[in-house]
Amino acid sequence: ARMLALKGATVVLACRNLDKGKAALARIQSEQPRGSATLAALDLSDLDSGAGFAADFAAAHERLDLLINNAGVMVPPL
């Protein structure tokens, strides 16, 4: 997200934890990127959160050019 914003992209940080998202957004903005970065709440374990995010995104943006997903991996014992 940081590099995309620095290169001029409009970046939306879709975060479950808004406190961590605010910290990441502040780090990006502190570098005065050519593009822009904003923060939006999104909890993928909650369908209402996903629907709300999608509606808000569609209202604020003309299109989505690129979606980058980040997922954790849990390895339980056998």
Nearest 10 degrees: Cα torsion 30, 23, 15, 3: 30
pTM of the model: 0.84
CA dist 44 and 28 (Å) reads 23
CA dihedral 27, 32, 37, 43 (to 10 degrees): 0
Mean pLDDT in residue range 2-17: 96
Question: Tens of pLDDT along 23-62?
Answer: 999 999 999 999 999 999 999 899 999 999 999 999 999 9
